[in-house]
Every structure is written in C-alpha cells, then in structure tokens.
Structure 1
C-alpha cells in the first residue's frame, strides 16, 4: 500500500552526522567577525539555508555579537551577505561529505522492489545539490526527483517541497508516503504534507557525530545520545524514530500494517 519513500539528503542519505554545512556556517560568520559555535550552527538545521542563516543572525545569542562587530543590528541585507559567503564554502566541502550512509542502497533497492518511488527534498540550495547529486549517483544513489530549498516560494517546515515531490513522481495520497529525515523541520515538513514521518536519531543532525566518532562511544554514551536525539525527534512529532536508514524496513512493514487496519498518519 505504500507508494513512496521520500528522503532528506545530508544526515539521512549521505554525510553521516550531517557535517558538511557546519564548518561552512562557522567560517562564513567568522569572515564577518562573528564567532558561531558548531552547536549553535546545528540549531536550525533542516531549514532552507537562507532561513538557517537568518535564524542564526537574529538569534538572541548571536545578534549582539553581530552588533558588536558591525556597530548595528543585523538586517536582511546582512543575511544575504552571509549566505553569499556560505554557499560556495558548502559547495567546496561537499566532496568530502558525500559518502552514502550504510544501508541506504539496500533499503532503496527493497523499497523499489515493493513498487515504491524514491523522492527527495533538501534544505540545500540547487548549486549545492548540483555538486552532490553526481557524486551520489556515481555511488549508486539516484532518487526519482530532487526538490531543493529555493525551488519554491517556501521550504521547510512548509509542505510545498513535498507537494512538488508528489507531483514529480506521481504519487498520492500522502498517507501512502513515508518521509525520512534527521531534523525537526524535516519532520514538520512531512507532517504538514500528511505523510508518515520517520526520524533518524544517530546518523544526522540530532547526534552530529561521524560514523567513526559514534563507533568510539561506550554503550552507555551511545544510549544516552540515542535517547536525547529520539526525544527531540519524537517531540517534533515523528511517528517512528530509528537509528539510521539501515533500520527502516521493519518500520515500512509496521506502517503497512497500520494502513491495512485503516489507520492514517
């Protein structure tokens, strides 16, 4: 009964830990004389990148730093200036953060065997994705569509990118679709569009660690990190929360059972 699996990109399908944007945000603000930590930069992850910059620059913590560095409060023109620096920095680091997340290809292959389409939405802009898509395709991952931040009048947490995906790949109703994402805005996007939503606790922004860093954690540290990330994503409304995309197939079975019982998202 499920017709489509719609995936986010960084932290969901590629770039374990969603690390590519972080250094770019920190460096972009540093070039304007404003210090931003990795933890602060992660806060708005999942939003379209201009909205992400705006969320940072106007935040109660960072806005005073901007005013101190520039002698005036940040403006929309400043948001555009930071974004113009950020985007090429992010494009530059993409090749170092384009590895597929383990288990992705097996899940996509099985979903296609079940007759599902594979859609995608992202908070990345089109120029960033033009760098990333060929790298992912060369590794074997090429979804049926890609909708980027900036393609439409509004991005996450609105449902517009999901609506475009439904139209692009020819699927409906939303209740026959599953949205997979590692951020709260990405979960909100799926909920707004009426799909089932699955959060990823350990492969993306909610944990923020590379695969190697995650593997070095003790069992207790890993469990604590999983709980924090799961609470965050469940609090955003995710119907299910799993560690990584590799754990998705039993969830698809569970959703099929709910649909067969007449339940909807």
Structure 2
C-alpha cells in the first residue's frame, strides 16, 4: 500500500524535545507565588492535562506546607485556580523559546515533498499556542499543510481519533491504510489505532522520557538504547 499522508503529533514528536514547555510553565507559575517545586515533585505525566498536573503537585504534603507558609489565608483550591491562570500565561511565553524542530525532521519533510506525501498535525495545543509556534517551526523547514487542535472540538476529552479522521478529510484521503500517525505517548498510539491508520510510536525526545536533549545526550549509551 502506498503511503499518501503522515499525521504527526507536535510536542515531543516533532518539536520541543522531551515536551519541556508544560513543566517549565507549571514550575514558573508556582514560583510566581513564592513556592519552589522540585524536579521530583514536578514530574509530569504526558497523558494529563495541565490542570490535573497542577492539582497533583498541590496534593503533595510538602508543597502544601510551602503554600501555606507563603499564603496562609489562601485555600488550596483558590491556589490551584490562580496557578492555572499563570500557567496559561507562561506557556505562551515559553513556547516560542522551545519551538525547535527535532533533528532530521526537515530532511524527512523534504523527502515527503519529492514523493508527493502530504503531512498534517494533531495537537492539544490551543489555536493561540499554534499561532505562536507555527511561524517559527515553518522557518525551520516544518510547515504542516493541515493543523487540527482538540480545542476546536466541543468535548476535547476523547477527540484523538476524530482529529486524525478530520485531518484525513482535509487532506482528501479516504483510505486509512495509506496514512501513518506518528506520536510519542500512549494516547497518540490509541488515537491512530482507533482511527484505523498505521501507527508509529516515537521514544527519543518523547514526552514519556521527559528529558531535554542535553539531559538525554549525557545518559550512558546503555540507558539511551534500552
């Protein structure tokens, strides 16, 4: 079967090695309230939404102690609400700083062009976030022809397969077996399989590993290849 299109995830798959932006934005949000969060406390699950991450961190007893030392009259619920607001501001500032295309992708895109293979993205970035990063990654040789975001759907909880299908529709491709979905999380794999397309998981630079490129590069070879 000839491959006619590839649908990529964004963070951790094509840009932002290790999907660093959410963790950086969350850590900065806590710090803006005078609360330091350790790397261990910050460890994020790539499958969770930012609000869930923030709630999990705030549930840590040591984080709660630090919060009440700084803000004795502010409830944890109100703290979560305020931190989430700052996260939403921070992520828009941080995304342009980490909007770097992963190594090898521009070469792959050039190959797609010579072969007439179309390419699109699906993401949980909002349209506002996409507006920040798409011009920057385009300058680096990655300019997806179609970009589908979960924010465009009324119920964004389980829209992954539908995003893939919508991308196929906009690419004018009907045969799912002529499409590849590439992602870096179990949710991405589910999205592709549920949509009936060929599905490939990426490990290096993924959200699951969660390491920056410099952190990953200094790992012993056995750790990087296991």
| TM-score bracket for this pair, using the shorter chain length | 0.7 to 0.9
1:168 alignment counterpart: 170
Report the Cα distance in structure 2 between the residues aligned to 1:173 and 1:78, rounded to whole angstroms: 48
1:115-161, Cα deviation, whole Å (9 max, x unpaired): 32101011211111111001011112100111223111233643222
- Greater RCO between the two (CA within 8 Å, min separation 6)? 2
Offset, 1:209: 2.1
1:14-73, Cα deviation, whole Å (9 max, x unpaired): 1222212211022224446766554555533255xxxx12322454x6436587757766
Match of 2:209 among 203, 207, 210: 207
Report the Cα distance in structure 2 between the residues aligned to 1:184 and 1:139, rounded to whole angstroms: 27
1:88 alignment counterpart: 89
CA RMSD between the two structures: 2.8
Report the Cα distance in structure 2 between the residues aligned to 1:87 and 1:105, rounded to whole angstroms: 30
Q: State TM-score, norm by structure 1.
A: 0.70
2:153 alignment counterpart: 152
Offset, 1:190: 1.6
2:59 alignment counterpart: 63
For the 8 Å contact 1:152–1:160, the answer to whether it is kept is no
For the 8 Å contact 2:7–2:179, the answer to whether it is kept is yes
1:53 alignment counterpart: 50
1:138-194, Cα deviation, whole Å (9 max, x unpaired): 112100111223111233643222222122222222222111111222222222222
Structure 1 residues 1-265: aligned runs within 5 Å: 1-31=2-32, 37-38=38-39, 41=42, 43-46=44-47, 52-59=49-56, 62-63=58-59, 69=68, 74=77, 81-155=82-156, 157-158=158-159, 159-223=161-225, 227=226
Offset, 1:78: 7.2
> CA 1:44 to 1:208, structure 2 compared with 1: closer, same or farther past 3 Å?
closer
Report the Cα distance in structure 1 between the residues aligned to 2:75 and 2:197, rounded to whole angstroms: 43
Q: Which residues of structure 2 form unaligned runs of 5+?
A: none
> CA 1:28 to 1:199, structure 2 compared with 1: closer, same or farther past 3 Å?
same
Residue range with higher mean Cα deviation, 130-139 or 111-120: 111-120
> CA 1:6 to 1:46, structure 2 compared with 1: closer, same or farther past 3 Å?
farther
Q: Which residues of structure 1 form unaligned runs of 5+?
A: 228-265
> CA 1:20 to 1:188, structure 2 compared with 1: closer, same or farther past 3 Å?
same
Secondary structure of 1:150's partner? helix
